Amino acid sequence: MLRRLRGYSPTSALTALTLLVPLGWSLEAQNADTAWNSERALELIALARSLRHETSVDPAFRSYSAEARGYVYYFLDRADTNERTLVKTDQIALDIYWRAPSDTRQRIVGLRDEKKLPTNIKYHLDHLTVVQDDFGDRIRMGDGDEVEAVIHPVAPASDSVYDFRLADSLTLTFAGPTAELRVYELQVRPKNLDAPGIIGSVFLERGTGAIVRMNFTFTPASYVDSHLDYIRISLDNSVWDAKYWLPYRQEVEIRREVPLFEFVSGGVIRGRFDIRGYRFNQELPDGLFGMARVTAAANLEDFQFESGLYDQLDEEGLAPAPALSDIRREAVRMAGRRYVSGLAPSRLYLPSLTSVVRYTRAEGYFNGLGMSLRAGGGALRLKSFGGYAFGRNKPHASVYVGADEAHVGPYFRATLNDLRDVGPIKGASGVLNTLSALAEEEDFTDPYFSSGLSVAHSLPVTGGHLRISGHWERHRSAEDVVTGKGSSSVRPVRRIDEGDGLWLQLDATPRPTGRFSPLPRATLRLGRFEYQTFASVLVSWEWRSARPSSAFNMTADVHGGWGGAAPAQMLFLLGGRHTLPGYGYRSFEGDRMALVRIEATQAILTPWFRLRLFASSGVTGLDHDRLPQNWTGETTNGLKNSVGAGLGLGWDILRLDAARGVNGGEWEFILSVNHGFWRWL
């Protein structure tokens, strides 16, 4: 519904207020009332309700039309690491119309999309359109399949449903001649947190009660779809024609997971629309409003968009806007740290596909299953996992208690017979390693087992997170338990330095940016293992030219490591697939290591084929000969280099490469999976 500003003196500067939001907020402490349902808070809501629902409309303001341009992204995200993988992008152009007193119409005039991964996702119509009236008195989303009839915070009698608190008085400052707008922030939560309702903030223009902004999410009871983790919404209005508060920018983020079990990732729909080009008091024909609320023009793909399909993504990436990322934290705080997700707080837990079933030479067949429990508004996690290695006849168990791995906070972890791999760089994804071990009896791990305890605390730092942890672990060598033909002759299981270790560890993790890591990923260890003091450092850095809009991409990553008197299982192994292809797999050992890898890819038949060219260069060194049995102690004896080429198949998911070691190496053919999926597999 249109709201006219009352008691507002328009000036020529106010006609430029379409930039209201980007110019930012300047906060002023105005003795905001900290009590819920204070007299002042209820007065402000009553004022907003009166303006929103008053029947008299400026008789000189009969209609408007406008244009909306937006993007809708569908991507996969790992909640524990904040990694995001783009699946599909849609770009939408809308013509929108309003006629007094309450007729609305939207027409999709342009629509184009592109998939980066295979998907059959279908959007609800309201995911591709804008909200013209701040949702009306009943908030409905997903055509009622997601949220149905949640009462609006300024709907009639809303103070019988919601609690309100005056949180802040804000001064909004505009560019140009002096022009300021005072806004109140009112926090909103349901009186009954077990009932459908919103949790968030409503920003009201001082003096008129016009809604300037709404940031909110929903209570768990609001969600109709059991797959919904959350819906977060930010609606911004601006002054148009120096008189009226109308939509300016809208953002929504919808996250889903499988309701039965917690897997490694969820699916996220994120939409953003900018509304502009308002034209007032046009004569709009009656037939325009007699059709469906939303219609589509013919030949949508012929529309000439002003921006590219990936322009916004190239500029901003997939990280959530501040308005959306802060909503959950504020909602949890307002709800008294209660759980605010639509998913069940307790579910089955599957860390990866191969945590359920895998096959390795150290375990034979392994089967496992876990449970996950969220508490404290979802920020506190309890994850337990158990399994059994049938070839080894040993159980595995782990317990994790603390904050989500991707969030700031402490945690505690205990493990029993945890399968580990020597060396910092994996040779294959879990699924491919299982298939290789079953079909060819080639296991790309150098396994050993660890049992122990660790405590840690994560802190935010500029550009990422810093985690400080203490570890006590008992390490044991693995044995080849597979009895098939050739199982012990392909590559023997390395013995390790067995015993107990106690060390401090510092992990620096850069915030994912999708292209360039301004900070390296680093791990520093300092401690003792079986009465021997040791230290080790591992540093890695990556750069990506990859833009979603580009058919040509380049990546580069650098790894460096040093281990002073470190046990053998903390040393470095190079050679073969994903390090120095064309040389014997993990044939080079060392307590110091450097590796540089460069890769260039070009789409040649999107999305089916992608040409790949790559090269790597690495070196290892070893200062001592204190190595366990069946370690050769062989180093690279100088720089080793590899070059290769290959194809990325089917959205670059499967990769088939041929590589050769340049100095003294051989040809090697490599079947692998895109590294971006390894954590899931």
Rounded (5°) CA angle 621-624-625: 110
Q: How many CB atoms lie within 10 A of CB 524?
A: 15
Strand segments (E) across 153-265 = 162-173, 180-190, 198-205, 211-218, 228-240, 244-256, 261-262
- Read off the pTM: 0.87
Least confident of 115-129, 265-279, 328-342, 637-651: 328-342
Give the pLDDT score at 170.
77
pLDDT beyond 60 at 41: yes
Q: Closest by alpha carbon to 200, among 340, 319, 71, 354?
A: 340
d(CA 148, CA 218): 11
**DSSP letter at 168?**
E
Residue owning tokens 């909004």: 172
Give the pLDDT score at 16.
33
d(CA 48, CA 482): 72
User: Over the stretch 121-163, which tens digit does the pLDDT of each residue have?
Assistant: 989 888 999 998 888 889 999 888 999 989 999 999 899 999 9
Domains along the chain with CATH numbers? 3-334 (no CATH), 346-677 (2.40.160.50)
User: Over the stretch 349-402, which tens digit does the pLDDT of each residue have?
Assistant: 998 889 999 999 999 999 999 999 987 666 688 999 999 999 999 999 999 998
**DSSP letter at 465?**
E
DSSP-assigned beta bridge partners for residue 466: 459, 508
pLDDT beyond 50 at 17: no
CA distances from 652 to 179, 433, 600 (A): 53, 19, 13
pLDDT beyond 60 at 20: no
Give the pLDDT score at 29.
37
Strand segments (E) across 119-209 = 138-141, 147-151, 162-173, 180-190, 198-205
User: Over the stretch 54-75, which tens digit does the pLDDT of each residue have?
Assistant: 644 667 778 889 999 999 999 9
Give the pLDDT score at 133.
80
